[in-house]
A and B are shown apart, each in its own frame.
Chain A
Amino acid sequence: MRLGSIVMIVLLLVLIGAGTVQTKSLHISANTPETALQSFFAQVKAKHWDDAFAMVQPGSGVEKESFIKDLGGNNESLKTISALQDVKTKILRESGNESDLRADLQWSTAVGALHESRDFKLVNDEGQWKIVWTPPAKNDGPPKPLPTTYLRWDVVQRGSSRDEWGVQNVEPPRMRIISMNAIEYQGGVTILGEVVNEDTVPGFVTINAILLDKDGNSIAEESSFDKISHTLLPKEISPFRVDFANRKLADVKSVRISPTNILVPAAADPVVGVFNQRIEKDPNGKSILRGELVTQGGQTVNIPHVLATFYDQSGKVIWVSDGYVDKALLPQQAVPFAVDLRDDLAGQVQNYRITVNYYNSNRS
C-alpha cells in the first residue's frame, strides 16, 4: 500500500499547488505596465511600503518618507484611517518604454467609501516597469502656528448634578430654515435647503424630514446625516440635503421639516479659508468644483469636510454636494479639494458657496 500512500501524498501536493497558483495569480508580476501598476497597488493595499517603494523609479525628489505620507497619510488625516479596497487601471497612452495609466482607486475610510482617480507614468527599466512617482507639491516651509484670539462659547451647567446630562434647562438657540427645495433625482426625492443660526450663541442642529402623502400620512422619514454642518456659530448658515431613495415626487403632497437644535459649546477657531474656487471638468469629463483650503488659525484640522451649495439665477438652492478631504490642514498651508457637481445642473449654476466642516481628533 506504499503506492497508495504516495498517490495520496502526491494528490495533496497537487491540490496545495493548485491553491497556491490560484492565490499567487493575484500577486501579479510587473512585466506589463498594467500588471505593474496592479502589483504596486497590491503592495499599497497590504501596506507593504518597502515593496511598493521598490517599484518606484528612483529619481530626484522621490523620498520614501514623503511617498509613504502621500499614500498612507499623516497628521491623523482621513488617509491614515483608510484602506485601499479596489483598483481599476486603464492605459491612456503606450509608446515603447513609456506608458501613461489611470488608476481609479476605491478607499474604505472611517466616513465611508471614497473614490480617487490618479494618473501615473510608467517606464520600462531593464524589463521591469517602474512607476515615475510625482512627489506631492511641497508647501513652503514648516507649518506656521499662529496665536488665536477667536471667540469661544462655553456652556455653564446649572447646578452640579451631571445626572441630568442631555437635559438643558436653557432655551435652544433660534434656528431658521431660510430656503428649501424638493427635487427628484436618481429615482428618489431629495430635499435641499439652508438653515441659519439666528441667535447670539452657537447651536447644534440636525434636520429631519418627513414626506407626507395627500392624506397627510407619513411616507418616509430621513435625516440630513452628514450633508450638513451640525455646529453653527451665531449667524452662520449651513446647507443641508436629505435623500429619500425609491420615492416619487408625484406621491408627495408636503414635506415636514423639523430641525432639532440645542445649545453647545463652540469656538470660532479654526477658521478655514477657501481659495481659488472654480468649476471645471475632470479627466473623465465630469463637472467638478475645485479649490484650496487654508486654515487661518493655529490649529491643525485633521479631517475637513466640504459642503458646496449651488444656486441658480434666481438664488434658489439647486444642489448640495459634499466631499471629504483626505489630507489634514496644517496652519497656513493650502490643501486642494474637489467636490462633484451634477453634469445636468452645471449649466444652471450661477453661484455657489462653500462651507467647511471639520473633525479634529483632539476635539472630544
Chain B
Amino acid sequence: MPLAAIALLALAVHGPLLLMQLPAVSTGGSAQIFLAQHYSQSWFNPWNEKWFAGFSQTSYPPLTQQWVALISRVMSLTAAYMVVQLFAVILLALGAFRFARLWVDERSASFAAIGSIFLGSLSMLVYQSGQLPATAATALALHGVSYLYGWSRSAKVLSLIKGFLLLIAAATADHVTALFGIILFAIPAVVLAITDRNDSESSERTSSAAVLIRAAVMVGLVAISATIVLAPFWSSFLSPQQQIPLPDGSRDNLLLNFSSAVRYWLIPMGAIVLALPYLFISGLAERRLRPLFFAFYVAMVLGLGGTTPVARVVLGRFYESFSMDRFTFWATLLALPLLGELATRLIERYSVKATIALAVAAVLTFSIPLAYVTAHPPSTNPFRTEPIANFLNRDNHDRFRYLTLGFGSQFAELATRANASTVDGDPSVARVLPEVAGFGAAHFDMARNYGSAGMESLRAVLKHASQYGLKFIFVRDRYYEPLLAFAGWRQIESYENGNVTLWSKEDVPPLKKIEPVNPISWFERMTWGLVPMLCSILAITLMIFFPERRRVMAEPIPFPSAETQAHRMQEAR
C-alpha cells in the first residue's frame, strides 16, 4: 500500500474528529494551547507572566507549542492545535510503517501502519489526555529510529543526518519520550541492525562493533545536542523540587481496581488483548523479532503501572510525575509489526472473513475509546469561560491576580482568554512559589485532590494574597467556600447561573511584577527558539525530497517457476 494511501486514511479517520476540535476539552489540550499562545506573542522570551505569577516556559519542551504558535498566524490557536495534532497522527502512521518495515515485509508493515491509525491508546492520548507532545514526539522518534537502523547498518550519511534531526526534534517535543520512549524504540532497532548487518547485497562484511559504534555516534550526538538545546529545561526538571503526587489511576494496581484497568489498559489495548498469545509466541519464535518483543514486553510491564513493582523501581522519582498510559501507547506501537504480520497471515488464510474481522476489530478498538471519552469527559458540565475572561479583561481588573478553584481542564482555557495573571499553573510545568515549597508543586485549582498537602499549600498562598496581588478567586467547587469565607474573602458575583462564583478581598494592592527567576542567556534563547523548529523542518524536508530507496526483500521464487506465457487453447475440430 503506498504511503500516500496510509496518510489519506489517517486524514479520513482523524480529520473529522479534529475538525470537531474534540481535544480542545481534553485534560492537557488547553494547557498546550495556553503555552503556544505565549510563543505566538513572544517567541524568544520564555518568561510568561500569566501562570505562577510569572514562570519560564523553558520548563516544558517547546516544539509542538511552537508549531501551534506558528500556524496560529493564519488561524485560531485551537484550530492550529488541531492541525498540528492531525499532522502528528499522519506522521505517526507513516513512522509506524517505516519502523515496521525494519522487521516485517511491506504488506505486513502496511497493515501495521493502518493499525496505528486505529490504536485505542492513540485515541485516548489524543482525545482524552490531549497529549500532543507525546504523540508528535513518538511519531518523530519512530522515523528517527528507522534512520538510526539505516545508519548503523549501512553507514549512509544521509540516514545519519535525517535520524539525528528527527531524534533532536522528538526530544524537543516531549521530555518523557526523550528519556524513555526513544530508548524503547532505539535499542531493538540497533540490535536488529547488528543481526542484519551482513544481509545486504553488498559483499562487504560489517562487524558488530562497527554497527554499535555507528549507533553510539548517532545516539551520542543526539544526546549532546538535546542536552544543549534543552539546557534550561533540564535544570528545572532535574531540580530536587518535587510534585505532590496526584492520585492517578494509571499507577493503581489494575487487578484490584477495575475502573482503572478499563481506562488505562483494556481500552488503550483494545483488540490487541486478543492477540497477546500470538505476540508472545511469534515474538520469541524468530531470533530477528526477539528484540522487538522484549521492548514491547518492557513497555507493557511499565504501562501496567502499580500492578507490578517494575515501574516504581525503574522510574524512581519520576514514577509519580507522569501518567503510565504513554508506556501502554508505546507497547501497542511496538506490537504493531507483529500484528501486521498476523494480519497478513490471517488474510492469506481466510481472505474476506479475516479482512472483515480485522476491520471490525480495528474500528471497535478506535471507537470504544471515543465512546469512553464521551461518557467520561475530562471536564464535567463544561461552562463558558468568556464572561469570566471579559470580567478580568475590563476595568483594569488585570492589575490584580486571580485564582480558579475547581475549573479542571478549563483552567487553562480561561488563562488563554484572560490578560490577567494567576498564581496557579499546570504542575507539569511547575514553578513552585516560595510559600508552598515545603509541600511540593500542586495545582491549586484542584488542591482538594492532593489531600492535606494540597489544602495546606492553598492556605499558604492565600495567606500571602496581598504580596501577590491576588484579589479575585473564581470558585466552581463549593468545597473551597468555607476556607475563603473564614480567610476574609467575600462573594461578590456569580456566573453561569451560579455555577461559578467570584470572591474578592478588599485590602489587596495591585500586583507587583516578579522579575524572571534564573533568566537564560541570549544563546539559550536563540537555541530554544530556533533549533527545535529548524530540526523538524529540515528533517521533514529531507524526508520528502531525499526519500530512502524502498528496500526490496528477497522473496522465494515458487518452484517450479511460473510459466510466463499462458497456454493457448486451440479450437476443437
Contact = CB atoms under 8 A, between A and B. Distances in A.
Interface of A: 1-2, 4-5, 8-9, 12, 15-16, 18-20, 22-24, 78, 81, 83, 85-86, 106, 108-113, 163, 165-166, 204, 206, 208, 221-226, 228, 230, 258, 260, 262, 264, 303, 305, 357, 359, 361, 363-364
Contacts of B501: 364
B458 to A, nearest CB: 9
B451 A83 contact: yes
Nearest to A243: B463
B482 A166 contact: no
B190 to A, nearest CB: 21
Contacts of A24: 256
Contacts of B464: 222
B493 A165 contact: yes
A108 B483 contact: no
A106 B492 contact: no
A264 to B, nearest CB: 7
B255 A20 contact: yes
Q: Which of A12, A78, A359 has the most CB of B within 10 A?
A: A12
Contact of A19 (B308, B452, B492, B504): B308
Contacts of B281: 1-2, 5
B488 interface: yes
A199 to B, nearest CB: 16
A5 B284 contact: yes
23 contacts: A2-B281, A5-B280, A9-B280, A12-B301, A12-B308, A15-B310, A16-B307, A19-B306, A19-B307, A20-B255, A23-B256, A24-B256, A85-B452, A108-B455, A112-B459, A165-B492, A204-B488, A204-B506, A208-B507, A221-B467, A222-B464, A225-B487, A364-B501
Contact of A111 (B308, B310, B454, B482): B482
B165 to A, nearest CB: 36
Contact of A18 (B309, B486, B490): B309
A24 B255 CA distance: 11
Contacts of A108: 448, 451-452, 454-455
Given A222-B463, A225-B487, A260 B456 contact: no
Interface string B278-312: 00110011000000000001000100101111100
A359 B485 CA distance: 7
A258 B466 CA distance: 13
A295 B379 CA distance: 40
Given A16-B304, A20-B307, A364 B491 contact: yes
Given A1-B285, A5-B284, A206 B463 contact: no
B103 interface: no
A8 B297 CA distance: 9
Given A16-B307, A163-B395, A361-B481, 6 more contacts: A16-B255, A110-B448, A111-B483, A112-B455, A357-B486, A364-B501
Nearest to A165: B492
Interface of B: 253, 255-256, 280-281, 284-285, 297, 301, 304, 306-310, 395, 448, 451-452, 454-456, 459, 462-467, 478-483, 485-488, 490-493, 501, 504-507
Nearest to B305: A19
A206 B281 CA distance: 71
A188 to B, nearest CB: 13
Across the A-B interface, give the 10 residue pairs with the lowest CB-CB distance, nearest first.
Answer: A260-B507, A15-B308, A226-B486, A108-B452, A19-B308, A4-B284, A23-B253, A113-B452, A1-B284, A364-B491
Contacts of B455: 108-113
B307 A305 contact: no
B465 A223 contact: yes
A359 B481 contact: yes
A23 B305 CA distance: 12
A19 B479 contact: no
Contact of A110 (B285, B301, B465, B480): B480
A109 B456 CA distance: 10
A206 B462 contact: no
Contacts of B485: 359, 363-364
B491 A81 contact: no
Contacts of B456: 112-113
Contacts of A2: 281
Contacts of A15: 301, 308-310
B448 to A, nearest CB: 7
Given A1-B285, A23-B256, A110-B455, A359 B309 contact: no
Given A23-B256, A303-B482, A230 B488 contact: yes
B506 A166 contact: yes
Nearest to A80: B479
A226 B483 CA distance: 8
Contacts of A226: 483, 486-488
B155 to A, nearest CB: 32
Given A5-B280, A18-B309, A23-B306, A110 B256 contact: no
B507 A206 contact: yes
A264 B267 CA distance: 54
Given A19-B306, A85-B451, A361-B478, A223 B483 contact: no
Contacts of A112: 452, 455-456, 459, 483
Contacts of B280: 5, 8-9
A49 to B, nearest CB: 19
A264 B490 contact: yes
B253 A19 contact: yes
Given A20-B253, A204-B506, A206-B505, A81 B479 contact: yes
A110 B487 contact: no
B463 A225 contact: yes
A221 B469 CA distance: 13
A223 B463 CA distance: 7
Contacts of A110: 448, 455, 479-483
A228 B486 CA distance: 8
Q: Of B280, B448, B492, which is in contact with the most chain A CB atoms at under 10 Å from its CB? A: B280
Contacts of A224: 488
B466 A208 contact: yes
Between A2, A83, A106, A206, the greatest number of chain B beta carbons within 10 A of the residue's beta carbon is seen for: A206
A110 B452 CA distance: 9
A303 B486 CA distance: 10
